[in-house]
Amino acid sequence: MRLTGGCEIGNRTAEPYRRSTAAETRGKQRPTDGGDWMPKNIDWRDRSDLESVTVRCLSPAFGVRIIPSRENQKREFNASPMYRRLWGPVRHLESLQPNANPRGHYAEPDSDTSRFIFVRIQGGFHEIRNSICDVVVVSRFLNATLVIPEIQSTTSSKGISSQFKSFAYLYNEDQFMAALSKDVKVVKTLPNNLKGQRRKKSIPVFKVPYSASLYYYKNNVLPILKKHLVVELVASDGGCLQAILPPDLEEYQRLRCRVAFHALRFRQEVQELATEILQRLKAPGQPFIAFDPGMTRETLAYHGCAELFQDVHTELIQHKRQWMIKRGIIKGKLSVNSAKQRLKGSCPLMPEEIGIILRAYGYLWDTIIYVSGGEIFGGQRTLIPLRAMFENVVDRTSLSMPWELSRMYGREANLVDRNPRSPPMIEEEMKIEAWKNAGPRPRPLPPPPARPKSYNIEGWWGWVAESDNEPDSTVIELRTNAHKLLWEAIDYVICVEADVFIPGFDSDGKGHPNFASLVMGQRLYQSAESKTYRPDRKEVAKLLDEIHDHLYHANHTWLMSVRKHLRKRLVDGLIEASARSKPLSFISHPVPECSCLRQDPAGKSINATSSPHASTPSHSQVLSALGVVHYCPAWMENDLTLQSKSKDKENEETLDEDDSTSSGLFFRKNNGDHDGGNGDISNKEETQLEDQEELEGGESLFSNQVKIRIMSKNTASWFMSLLGLLSGCFRGGTKRSRSERQEDGPEAWNVAAAKHFSSAPKVRMG
């Protein structure tokens, strides 16, 4: 065992701490990784001898720091109840399984239909996805052939690669057509005779209102469709069909699920890059959190959150809000008290606030957090507090290479002149001739030419004070908007597959469910038991205001309140979404229509046990609130692996709720007085103590003190005796005379050290 700074204990000899001579220094080599200098005959990469304890002898002035092994710490932490509380499944939802197949008689589409529906879809990623699901249902309802929808943001006029055509820029056309072959007839283009009508603009066009009813299509669209055999629908608000349908039309809801969760697959290049980034995220072998801020300019303007920002960002939000008011999107006032909006839960949670509640819940400083979203309004500076609390905050740009993104974009025309031509040179003779003919001297210089107006408004924000209308988008900006769809597609895949997902906001710039809502909907359908936090922003704002003056030094009571809130919202937030999000977007909450209950061999649903606490809803109460009553078919039961649940695991959430050992030391101020007087301290508390130290500024060194991580009583006593040996190593001892210390010398200390380490407990420290 090596003692960094001059001491080696274990199979090798140990010497008192002393400064190396010049001759000894020349006989040492420097490791390439910047570690401590070591003798040539010792391989600095070989750490096989570190079986029990590694002690770092820093210097007589700094004392000793003993830190537990990361590998053992991780192994023990993964098996702890705290790990299951942070990353484990939601027990009440484990019996929910995806089932979007038809449950009764379901006729296949008419193969010889001569009526066609052509759709143009406008909007962002979540609006496109919602609209595609709706138009498929409308096509089946009207018994018409659906032409592959045209996504306006990805047409050739937007400067994208000519390799792709609209829908194919984002999704896989062949997969879309094959997956819906038994639901709707889908073709790639209109027949030739109808293409001419479209070029002549003789096809009837319907600009469908948001959340239109089936009655609207039956009475307005169907007669025109029968007459002209083709109609064009324009979906611009993120949906063209009401989310809630009558009970007798429940099969249409399951069709929506088949479209959203099975038919819509991203094209190969997008899917491959998303899978590669996901593998890089999981490479360290630890779970990760996906966080979607939901902070777009339109969202902040719609909900009146301008005053949460400063300077030009506030002006930009207010400018957009005024634009929305003029067009009737917002019916409120221009000036809104953003502080009141935040307290009502109408504004997104800032990244700093998300970081605080995650740390309070128990997530460690080295937790991997993936930040999704094509745009975070306010720039990277809004993420600085989150990065200060979690060192592994990553996003798409940090996990991919530029050439990987370029390959996904395809071959695009160069819209920027990388080698601008220099202005034409003025011949010297012309200058001399102009000077001769310039008139008498001295003469006043002419005034300088006026600056071009574009110079005064140069930049992405300069037009705010110049015009009520935003400047027209350039081709480069239109191309970037198309790229954002691909970025959000990657984020969508990663957020759905994340171990934990938490949104900063669940509404877009029109008050409809946003990107995060669709992610939560697919996670609910695909793996309902996976942890998806739905924090109540109103309650979180109240909790944060309670400790506003000492935000990073919270007490135990506050931490337990945060943990209780987040744990409660795992289920309560889901039930609330069925009443708030589902009426606006069905695929944001596809339960109970697209789910079924798994049964155990005894014929009872899994986890059908009552909660020991009256405040916690039972499994049956949760399912009743969600409306899930349909049991999975037999063929699904045979494919599902039923895992036995021990009594301990059944009650793990209850045990963790009252766990006093995880009492949130993350935010307490470190006073260095942890004496372990309460008996055994678990590895979980040890981890938090170390994490607290990192949160408060990194490693702290003491001159005459040693900070010990106590694993057990035996380990603690062993360490205390070790400190006595090290005290002799550094200072020659304090209780013996000077002559006695000189007679003993380093050999006596080596013998004592060897004897001491032979009785060391098997605890790996590093």
pLDDT for the residue numbered 58? 34
pLDDT for the residue numbered 193? 84
User: For 498-554, how does the pLDDT look when each residue is reduced to its tens digit (9 = 90+)?
Assistant: 999 999 999 898 889 999 999 999 999 999 999 999 999 999 999 999 988 887 788
Closest CA to 154 of 146, 144, 164: 164
What is the distance, to the nearest Å, from the Cα of residue 372 to the centroid of all Cα atoms in its chain? 5
Confidence class for position 616, pLDDT limits 50, 70, 90: low
User: Of 44 and 115, which is predicted with more confidence?
Assistant: 115
Beta bridge partners of 28: 39
What is the distance, to the nearest Å, from the Cα of residue 631 to the centroid of all Cα atoms in its chain? 33
pLDDT for the residue numbered 609? 45
Identify how many contiguous H helices and E strands the chain contains and give both numbers. Answer: 30, 19
User: For 293-317, how does the pLDDT look when each residue is reduced to its tens digit (9 = 90+)?
Assistant: 999 999 999 999 988 887 788 888 9
User: Of 679 and 579, which is predicted with more confidence?
Assistant: 579
In percent, the amount of the chain with pLDDT more than 70 equals 65
The dihedral formed by the CA atoms of 46, 47, 48 and 49, expressed in degrees to the nearest 10? 110
User: For 138-169, how does the pLDDT look when each residue is reduced to its tens digit (9 = 90+)?
Assistant: 999 999 999 999 998 888 777 788 888 889 99
* Contact assessment for residue 317 and residue 300, using Cβ atoms and an 8 Å cutoff: yes
Q: What is the DSSP letter of 674?
A: -
pLDDT for the residue numbered 30? 38
Share in percent of the chain as helix, strand, coil (round to 5):
45, 10, 45
CA-to-CA distance for 579 and 506, rounded, in angstroms?
Answer: 14
pLDDT for the residue numbered 171? 95
User: Of 377 and 9, which is predicted with more confidence?
Assistant: 377
Q: Which residues of 5-28 are buried (b: 16+ CB within 10 A; e: fewer)?
A: bbbbbbeeebebbeeeeeeeeeee
User: For 551-597, how does the pLDDT look when each residue is reduced to its tens digit (9 = 90+)?
Assistant: 778 888 999 999 999 999 999 999 898 889 999 999 999 999 999 98
User: Of 755 and 234, which is predicted with more confidence?
Assistant: 234
User: For 681-701, how does the pLDDT look when each residue is reduced to its tens digit (9 = 90+)?
Assistant: 344 444 443 444 333 333 332
The dihedral formed by the CA atoms of 739, 744, 749 and 751, expressed in degrees to the nearest 10? -160
Beta bridge partners of 370: 290, 394
User: Of 483 and 716, which is predicted with more confidence?
Assistant: 483
CA-to-CA distance for 42 and 8, rounded, in angstroms?
Answer: 11
CA-to-CA distance for 178 and 114, rounded, in angstroms?
Answer: 20
User: For 335-393, how does the pLDDT look when each residue is reduced to its tens digit (9 = 90+)?
Assistant: 899 999 999 999 999 999 999 999 999 999 999 999 998 668 888 889 999 999 999 99
Q: Is the pLDDT of residue 675 over 90?
A: no
Closest CA to 217 of 192, 236, 198, 242: 242
Q: Is the pLDDT of residue 130 over 60?
A: yes
Confidence class for position 50, pLDDT limits 50, 70, 90: very low
Beta bridge partners of 242: none
Q: What is the rounded end-to-end Cα distance, in angstroms, of the chain?
A: 11
pLDDT for the residue numbered 467? 66
What is the distance, to the nearest Å, from the Cα of residue 298 to the centroid of all Cα atoms in its chain? 20
Burial of 4 (0-12, 13-18, 19+ CB in 10 A): middle
In percent, the amount of the chain with pLDDT more than 90 equals 39
Q: Is the pLDDT of residue 600 over 80?
A: no
Q: Is the pLDDT of residue 661 over 50?
A: no
pLDDT for the residue numbered 622? 78
* Contact assessment for residue 687 and residue 67, using Cβ atoms and an 8 Å cutoff: no
User: For 82-117, how does the pLDDT look when each residue is reduced to its tens digit (9 = 90+)?
Assistant: 888 999 999 888 888 999 999 888 888 887 778 999
Q: Is the pLDDT of residue 285 over 60?
A: yes
CA-to-CA distance for 33 and 24, rounded, in angstroms?
Answer: 21
Q: What is the DSSP letter of 220?
A: I
- Name the residue type at position 463: W
Closest CA to 370 of 352, 387, 384: 387
φ and ψ at residue 369, rounded to 5 degrees: -120, 120
pLDDT for the residue numbered 310? 79
The overall average pLDDT reported for the chain is 75
Beta bridge partners of 233: 119, 206
User: Of 666 and 84, which is predicted with more confidence?
Assistant: 84
Q: What is each CA distance from 107 to 111, 183, 426, 570, 593, in whole angstroms?
A: 12, 8, 79, 38, 19
pLDDT for the residue numbered 613? 45
pLDDT for the residue numbered 745? 53
Q: What is each CA distance from 384 to 154, 278, 644, in whole angstroms?
A: 33, 24, 44
Token pair for 9: 């204990």
The three state secondary structure string of 163-214 is CCCCHHHHECHHHHHHHCCCCCCEECCCCHHHHHHHHCCCCCEEECCCCCCH
pLDDT for the residue numbered 552? 77
Confidence class for position 757, pLDDT limits 50, 70, 90: low
- Cis ω on the peptide bond leading into residue 223 (within 30° of 0)? no
